[in-house]
Amino acid sequence: MSLAVVLIIAVALSFDFFNGFHDAANSIATVVSTRVLTPRQAVAWAAIFNFVAFLIFGTHVAKTIASDVVNSDLLTNAVIFSGLLGAIAWDVLTWYVGLPTSSSHALVGGLAGAAVAKSGWAALIGSGFQKIAVFIVMSPLIGLLLAFTIMTGIYWAFHKYRKVDKLNRGFRRGQLLSAAAFSLGHGGNDAQKTMGVIAVLLFVNGHLAKAADGTIPIPLWIVLSAHTAIGLGTLFGGWRIVHTMGSRITKLQPAGGMAAETAAAITLFFATYSGVPVSTTHTITGAIVGVGTTQRLSAVRWGVASRVVWAWVLTIPGAFLISYFAYLPFRALS
């Protein structure tokens, strides 16, 4: 394996690490803000389930990233490196301005931009992009509807129950499970995106061959290293961010937190099994909006929701443009 390949794998795993670093707050903020777990306990809880997700989900999302976004026969090390560079730069830029963008969409946009800079629009696979684009809109809406349904079900089931303290204790315990489920979904869907990038890199360099069905197989060491990177990212980063997240965006009661996390987890499980890369941030945001809607529409912080819509619109084109220009020096050299 050449030094270039090793370096690009390191960049891809760094991308995964920072994904865990930032997104961990989504899965642990509610557990911390409702004082079910301390921040340190919560990040350890989330990191464990981020890691063990490899035992549950296959590698469908990784295969989508490796085979269905960009024509893998046209890729080179420079294209993959520029794609990762664009995705990371977009993530850092939007984190700085506070736009809740999706690392997943940045990665897809980044790979596409660098591939188009090398080989033109023919490098893109339309059907793969169509699937991802549709779910950019659908995954937050599915999370919203499921969260509203679960929360309303909780109201219906317990509205005559008078022992509020006992009920809250039950929901606090339930939150441990729902946070674990969300972390499983997060680890399953997001770690696989990095696996896809590493697999396609190894294919380009002749270290992996395509399977009979035209997809690139994902070796176990790639699976384990991607899950380790996202788990470590969660462990090191989550507790720093959760203090802000827990009070500013997701100040939920235990029942609401459990409903939002369960709805988002169901959405992520479905997407991961179906091989669709979705944004975990957008999914949990949609679910929180769904819980807020059970009270009244004005209970929802629409400012946050509208920023997510801007993130939908801007992420893929933004990362695309950065990667496109990042590849141009390589094109001039070749």
Partner 1 sequence: MRLGRRPLFFLGVSITFLALLVPTPEEFRRVNLVMAGLAAFWFVLLAIEEVSGRGGGTDEGGRA
Strand partners of residue 70: 124
Which residue's CB is nearer to partner 1, number 145 or number 224?
Answer: 145
The residue range among 10-18, 116-124, 137-145, 319-327 that interacts with partner 1, by the rule CB under 8 A, is 137-145
| Subset of residues 222 to 281 that bind partner 1, contact rule: CB under 8 A | 251-253, 255-257, 259-260, 270, 274, 276
The residue range among 43-51, 86-94, 127-135, 310-318 that interacts with partner 1, by the rule CB under 8 A, is 127-135
Site of tokens 């999302």:
61
Tell me the C-alpha distance between 199 and 205, whole Å: 10
Find the binder of partner 1 among 74, 138, 167, 321 (CB under 8 A). 138
Which residue's CB is nearer to partner 1, number 117 or number 265?
Answer: 265
To the nearest 10 degrees (0 to 180), the angle between helices 164-204 and 103-119 is: 20
User: 124 is written with which tokens?
Assistant: 């893109």
* Residue 89 touches partner 1, criterion: CB under 8 A: no
167-198 burial, b at 16+ Cβ within 10 Å, e below that, comes to eeebbbebbeebbbbbbbbbbbbbbbbbbbbb
Contact 277, 189 (CB under 8 A): yes
Tell me the C-alpha distance between 244 and 237, whole Å: 13
- How many residues bind partner 1 (CB under 8 A)? The answer is 34
Find the binder of partner 1 among 3, 297, 332, 333 (CB under 8 A). 297
* Residue 306 touches partner 1, criterion: CB under 8 A: no
Tell me the C-alpha distance between 27 and 31, whole Å: 8
26-65 burial, b at 16+ Cβ within 10 Å, e below that, comes to bbbbbbbbbebbebeebbbbbbbbbbbbbeebebbbbbbb
Least distance to partner 1, CB of residue 204, Å: 27
| Subset of residues 140 to 159 that bind partner 1, contact rule: CB under 8 A | 141-142, 144-145, 148-149, 151, 155
* Residue 92 touches partner 1, criterion: CB under 8 A: no
* Residue 168 touches partner 1, criterion: CB under 8 A: no
Give the 3-state secondary structure of residue 208.
coil
* Residue 295 touches partner 1, criterion: CB under 8 A: yes
The residue range among 95-103, 216-224, 232-240, 296-304 that interacts with partner 1, by the rule CB under 8 A, is 296-304
> Which residues make up the interface to partner 1 (CB under 8 A)?
127, 130-131, 133-134, 137-138, 141-142, 144-145, 148-149, 151, 155, 251-253, 255-257, 259-260, 270, 274, 276, 291-297, 299
